[in-house]
Structure 1
Amino acid sequence: MIEEIQIRDLGVIESARIELHPGLTVITGETGAGKTMVLTGLGLLLGGKADAGAIRPGAETASVEGRFAPPAHHPALGLAADAGAMLDDDALLVVRTLASGRSRAHLGGRSVPQGLLGEIGAELVTVHGQSEQIRLRSPAHQRQALDAFAGPEHGHQLARYTQAHERRQDAQRSLDRWDSDTQAREAELERLETALERFDALEPRAGEDAELRAEAERLGNVEDLRTAAERAHLALGGGEDPDAPDAALALVDQARRELAGAADHDETLAEWNGRLDTVSYQLSDLLTEISSYTTGLEADPERLDQVHTRRAALTELARTYTDAGDLPALLEFAEHARERVTALTAPGAGRDALVAELDEVAAEEGEAAAAVTDGRRRAAREMAEAVDVELAGLAMPGAHLSVGLHERTELGPWGAEDVELLLAPHPGAPPRPLAKGASGGELSRVMLALEVAMARQLASTTDGRLPTFVFDEVDAGVGGQAAVEVGRRLAELARHTQVIVVTHLAQVAAFADRHLVVMKTSAAHQGGVTNSDIRKVEGPDRESELARMLSGDPTSHTALRHAAELLERPVVGR
């Protein structure tokens, strides 16, 4: 519920604090007193569009602060928490500030986008005004009313259908793209198959590029390699004279012999002698390997040419089909190409798979649509009966609301049927679509009857978590006994949730649990700028306000007696 609203420098309101409570609250006041600014301020808190022209003349900024107290685990609390908002004693504080050319929104102490206030506001408050009555004429609004009346389980089925419908549309688009891209797909398949033929002809291996590069280096430098090996062999072994005094192996053997005679007398020399033995063995093995390497090192121009040709072929193929232009990228391309070719040519793949998927999701869509239709049929009967009862109480005895479900030629985003509300305003009258045949007063009463019936339905099928209802002159075009019954129905709705009503009818205001009056003060003390204040009226003050609404004269004895009679009338069911 809304606990409090504070308004500063908005329109004719310089400063006002509105305390709200559960039940039915009415807001009244003379024309031009500022009732509209109260709803404008609430609209700003609910994410409405900001208008710098609403700032009070002479002020630089305007602000509206609201305190909302949702029940525990309400969806609005989750949205606020995701935005980083902090609660104040389990309440959400919302602030909207207007300045020339811009506005700012804060939620729980955090700056947030205006759109987030709209999301949270939609969960917390439902506003009905003249525009809402106009929307009731639209088929979309009528369908939404029926779906809301059908309850949460129907809502789950509708969400399931919406998802299935979107999946079916996606599957149909995929199939359409497949059929329209036949030439491009054939060209892709031909290109991939050609690439794989060239790849398979070369049969490249992972790491082959490094091997070929090393072999090319070796074959291209045979003489340099042979000279280096021969010189190393000479330095180690002395060439044809292995005992040459300057040969490394001969010097190691000499050192080993020098130590051998004294090794028995010192462990250190013995250890060195052993290490020299190892070095001698290793040098001997290395000499043998160098000799073998030199013997096998031969120039092979033909093989070198083959290596260069192979490397060039791999490079050309890689640059043709990959951005990197190297062997690893070519191997990866070939792997993906084979997978794509398989997907394009395998039995049961390609178009067959798309058709199978479309059939599957279409079946799911049809099943979900049937469930939605069943829910609407049930809800249509129940809603018509419930609204008829409310219309009878709203001075429309014998009026009948019927709900037409018209089957569509194809499934739409909302299901298999269009919804149309028809009204027979009195016995014997033919039912006519609300969009064409209902007057403003009849629309007001139908809308109120729908809201009361829906509140009762939701209160019985859910945990009672209903939004706050705000009505802006919902009684327009209504008078006499019908106005009394409108007030009674608003009071009935307020048994289930908080209701706030802006009204000009005393018959409606008399049913309020709390009566607030917007009053203008003299402009002479405000520099010529009119100011309005909001205060709660009780007892004689409330009778005077009702008398003013009845006759225009708050002191009229006749109007005061009538006001007292209105306040004494009991509220049925309360």
Structure 2
Amino acid sequence: MLRSLDIRDLLIIDRLELAFQPGLNVLTGETGAGKSILLDALGFVLGWRGRAELVREGAAQGEVVAVFDLPESHAARAVLADAGFPAGDELILRRVNSADGRKTAWVNDRRASGEVLRALSDTLVELHGQQDDRGLLNPRGHRVLLDDFAGNAAPLAATRAAWRRVAEARRALAEAEAALAALREEEDFLRHALAELDALDPQPGEEAELDTRRRMMQAADRIREDIARAFTAMGGDGAEGLLGDAVRWLEGASDRAEGRLDGAIDALSRALSDLGEAQQGVEACLDHLSFNPAELEMTEERLFAIRGLARKHGQQPDDLAEFTRTLRARLAALDAGEGDIAALHAAVAQAEAGYRAAAETLTARRIRAARALDKAMAAELAPLKMERAVFATEITPADPGPEGQDGVTFTVATNPGAPSGPLDKIASGGELSRFLLALKVCLTRGTSGITMIFDEIDRGVGGATADAVGRRLAALAEGGQVLVVTHSPQVAARGAHHWRVEKQVSRGKTRSTVTPVAETGRVDEIARMLAGDTITEEARAAARALLGA
């Protein structure tokens, strides 16, 4: 509930402090007195888009503060929680418009964006007028209104979830089909490349080993001859034979040399031993350097084949084995693709069946709710002197989507036998006002916590019809809060709280003021609305009759 509205330096208002009450609050005044400015001010603090220039001439800034009562279960608490703001029993919105156009807002003394204000606004206030643009006259919003009336939150959520599953299944199928098509385009390449790689079967590290072996075999021819000559020089025809002869000769002479040759003989024996080890090393090297010339050719052929495949596929030689596994996986995906596509088609069909079931459940609920809404509207139109009018909620097939597969349109026929048509095309101004009011009564049953504002909803009606409008507004305000800007004395008389908006000119400056109308003053105010500037006793008597009715 809107508890207070404090306006400073906005348009032609220098300072206004308004304390609103539960029930039906009526604002009356001459045309141009500034009633619409109050709505502009409230819309400004709620983040609505409106006039660009709001600051009163000569002021540095304009400011509006709105205070709302916030019961424990109010929907605004969820908005505050999502935005990270504290929530208490009182919600204070403050917004400032500087003379240079900058706008700054606070929610409970914390800086807030216009987006947060507008999100809060949706839970706090509803504005309705003869040219309502917030859903009642917009056919695109009729389905939303019918779902609210039907309490379709759960089946609507189920339908949205089913639609998401359909979209996800279709997306997975499309992606799989695109991937399979891409694989098919390279199938010949995959099979040929894998055949080459499998035939060669390169292993990590093999290229380096082959290169080392090749270089060693290439060098072997150049060094083996020298090593062989050295081996011959160390053999029996060379150093080994000569040393052996020397040892035998010395040993034969040692008995007569009285021990002087013993050291030399020992040294030569050791030399022969070392020479034997050297011969074994050289012989082993010669064995290692021995190879079949065809082996060099085969080594070079494999080495060049590995390097050629690596260049062909833009890989490092050591990465060819992993590259082979990658190609094999892609080919396996291609071979298994048809089965995967079939499974994905089945998943799409299953998701679509689930969506149809959820959408059909939602359609059935909407059909039942449409009949209930039409019946409720018939009951509401009769007190508004439109008992002959026929309101009908038409449900037609529509393209499937997250909100179901139904189109919803509110239609009316204002007289028996007259053709029906869209609400905003058939009804006249006065009829339209009453249709809107009846719809609002039906659609807001069971809701609470929202302040409803009707801006001259009674325009174009008078007499008993205006009185009927006033009675419905009063009924709508029971247990809640309704603000009505009105020129109708019949509607004003039904208000539980009354304010008069006046425009005054002082020292060449225009100011708008709003003052509460006490019970004693309501007779004159309603008489003014009946008779104009000159209030007669007859007008006062009529005003008393309206207030006492």
The TM-score with structure 2 as length reference comes to 0.77
2:521 aligned partner: 541
1:265 aligned partner: none
Equivalent position amino acid for 2:423 in 1: L
Q: For 1:131-183, what per-residue CA distance to the aligned partner results, in whole angstroms no more than 9, with x for missing partners?
A: 316964442233332222112xx222123223433543554566567778886
Q: Secondary structure at the match of 1:446?
A: helix
Q: Secondary structure at the match of 1:453?
A: helix
Q: Given that residues 204 and 314 in structure 1 are in contact (C-alpha distance below 8 angstroms), is that contact kept between their aligned partners in structure 2?
A: no
- Partners of 2:60 and 2:284 in 1: CA distance: 95
Equivalent position amino acid for 2:523 in 1: E
Q: Secondary structure at the match of 2:148?
A: helix
Equivalent position amino acid for 1:130 in 2: Q
- Partners of 2:317 and 2:82 in 1: CA distance: 48
2:389 is the counterpart of 1:399: yes
2:526 is the counterpart of 1:518: no
2:533 aligned partner: 553
Q: Given that residues 86 and 109 in structure 1 are in contact (C-alpha distance below 8 angstroms), is that contact kept between their aligned partners in structure 2?
A: no
- Alpha-carbon distance change, 121 to 291 in structure 1, aligned in 2, over 3 angstroms: farther
Q: Given that residues 404 and 420 in structure 1 are in contact (C-alpha distance below 8 angstroms), is that contact kept between their aligned partners in structure 2?
A: yes
2:427 is the counterpart of 1:438: yes
Q: For 1:370-422, what per-residue CA distance to the aligned partner results, in whole angstroms no more than 9, with x for missing partners?
A: 111111111111111111111101111233212222234x4355433322323
- Partners of 1:554 and 1:165 in 2: CA distance: 65
1:92 aligned partner: 91
2:45 aligned partner: 45
Q: Secondary structure at the match of 2:49?
A: coil
2:53 is the counterpart of 1:58: no
- Partners of 2:189 and 2:73 in 1: CA distance: 58
1:367 aligned partner: 357
1:139 aligned partner: 139
Unaligned stretches of 5+ residues in structure 1: 224-289, 570-574
2:438 equivalent among 436, 449, 459: 449
- Alpha-carbon distance change, 386 to 299 in structure 1, aligned in 2, over 3 angstroms: farther
- Partners of 1:6 and 1:299 in 2: CA distance: 107
Q: Given that residues 219 and 299 in structure 1 are in contact (C-alpha distance below 8 angstroms), is that contact kept between their aligned partners in structure 2?
A: no
Unaligned stretches of 5+ residues in structure 2: 220-280
- Partners of 1:367 and 1:518 in 2: CA distance: 56
Equivalent position amino acid for 2:40 in 1: T
2:184 aligned partner: 186
- Partners of 2:82 and 2:303 in 1: CA distance: 63
Alignment map for 1:140-539 (pairs within 5 Å):
140-151=140-151, 154-169=152-167, 171-172=169-170, 184-203=182-201, 208-209=204-205, 213=208, 305=300, 309=304, 312=307, 315-316=310-311, 319=314, 337-346=327-336, 349-408=339-398, 410-412=399-401, 414-456=403-445, 459=446, 464-524=447-507, 528-539=508-519
Residue 65 of structure 1 and its aligned partner are, at CA, apart by 1.8
- Alpha-carbon distance change, 540 to 337 in structure 1, aligned in 2, over 3 angstroms: farther
Residue 197 of structure 1 and its aligned partner are, at CA, apart by 4.4
Q: Given that residues 547 and 553 in structure 1 are in contact (C-alpha distance below 8 angstroms), is that contact kept between their aligned partners in structure 2?
A: no
Equivalent position amino acid for 2:116 in 1: L
Equivalent position amino acid for 1:186 in 2: R
Q: Given that residues 384 and 403 in structure 1 are in contact (C-alpha distance below 8 angstroms), is that contact kept between their aligned partners in structure 2?
A: yes
Q: Secondary structure at the match of 1:346?
A: helix
Q: Secondary structure at the match of 1:64?
A: strand
- Alpha-carbon distance change, 305 to 76 in structure 1, aligned in 2, over 3 angstroms: farther
2:276 aligned partner: none
1:123 aligned partner: 123
- Alpha-carbon distance change, 436 to 308 in structure 1, aligned in 2, over 3 angstroms: same
1:26 aligned partner: 26
1:564 aligned partner: 544
- Alpha-carbon distance change, 218 to 545 in structure 1, aligned in 2, over 3 angstroms: farther
- Alpha-carbon distance change, 131 to 432 in structure 1, aligned in 2, over 3 angstroms: closer
What is the number of residues matched between the two proteins? 486
Q: Given that residues 547 and 554 in structure 1 are in contact (C-alpha distance below 8 angstroms), is that contact kept between their aligned partners in structure 2?
A: no
Task: State percent identity of aligned pairs.
Answer: 37
Q: For 1:460-488, what per-residue CA distance to the aligned partner results, in whole angstroms no more than 9, with x for missing partners?
A: xxxx4452211111111111111111111
- Partners of 1:48 and 1:565 in 2: CA distance: 40
Q: Given that residues 466 and 496 in structure 1 are in contact (C-alpha distance below 8 angstroms), is that contact kept between their aligned partners in structure 2?
A: no
Residue 508 of structure 1 and its aligned partner are, at CA, apart by 1.0
- Alpha-carbon distance change, 147 to 304 in structure 1, aligned in 2, over 3 angstroms: same
Residue 501 of structure 1 and its aligned partner are, at CA, apart by 1.4
- Alpha-carbon distance change, 559 to 202 in structure 1, aligned in 2, over 3 angstroms: farther
- Partners of 1:216 and 1:170 in 2: CA distance: 53
Residue 127 of structure 1 and its aligned partner are, at CA, apart by 1.4
- Partners of 2:186 and 2:72 in 1: CA distance: 58
- Alpha-carbon distance change, 318 to 437 in structure 1, aligned in 2, over 3 angstroms: same
- Partners of 2:80 and 2:282 in 1: CA distance: 83
Residue 311 of structure 1 and its aligned partner are, at CA, apart by 6.7
Equivalent position amino acid for 2:96 in 1: T
Residue 80 of structure 1 and its aligned partner are, at CA, apart by 1.6
The TM-score with structure 1 as length reference comes to 0.74
- Partners of 2:462 and 2:60 in 1: CA distance: 42
